[in-house]
Amino acid sequence: MTFIQHNLQQVRQRLGAAAENCGRDPQQITLLAVSKTKPVSAIREAWQAGQRCFGENYVQEGVEKIAQTRDLPEAEWHFIGPLQSNKSRLVAENFSWCHTIDRLKLAQRLNDQRPSHLPPLNVLIQVNISDEQSKSGISPHEIPALAQQIALLPQLKLRGLMAIPAPETEYQAQLAVCRRMAEEFRTLSTAYSNIDTLSLGMSDDMEAAIEAGSTMVRVGSAIFGARHYPPSSQ
């Protein structure tokens, strides 16, 4: 068993145990393997181990990896990093998902740039649930208005919400903020029929996110090992 296969097995066991501990079906929780800064060989290794959903934070890096893995059936690519308007076309043309919508202008550009031969781009609204100055995302009270605007864009399909809570070491503190996020998700899902995805939880708070109701967890270093950042990020 390879290093990545072993790590994937460990993460899946964690995910499964967390789901069972709170009476949830592990099959209802998607594991997104965050492959930023990792080589294509690592992605192929994860794919061989059954992983199908991959997340990238840097547009150019992600586009290059997508081009080099077109031979992998069912590989699904999610853009999960901050997105500048001048890079939106690359996301619209190459990815299946964008997790980081936080303004109408960006949604409009993605809609207009999504090729007509592709299905609508699946999008999530990023929420700054911990109200951190350094983080992207909108305030919870802004969700209804932005959701209403995105729902009118035919080349986008609003699927739910995404958040990166502030780091907390105590489990109950993690759970409290994840539950606030899950409440926003439930409120949104009552208004729109397509809402089915809450992208919440990473390596350090995956269990709390799953207990709160996350349907997608984003895990990088626990699968691929420590990241090695290039001299300047894209």
The answer for 118, left when phi > 0, alpha when psi is -120 to 50, beta otherwise, is beta
The CATH topology of domain 3-219 is TIM Barrel (3.20.20)
Choose among 150, 102, 108: nearest CA to 128.
Answer: 102
Q: What is the pLDDT along the chain (234 residues), one digit of tens a residue?
A: 899 999 999 999 999 999 999 999 999 999 999 999 999 999 999 999 999 999 999 999 999 999 999 999 999 999 999 999 999 999 999 999 999 999 999 999 999 999 999 999 999 999 999 988 878 899 999 999 999 999 999 999 999 999 999 999 999 999 999 999 999 999 999 999 999 999 999 999 999 999 999 999 999 999 999 877 666 544
In DSSP notation, 7-26 reads HHHHHHHHHHHHHHHTT--G
Cα→Cα distances 187→141, 196, 213, Å = 11, 12, 13
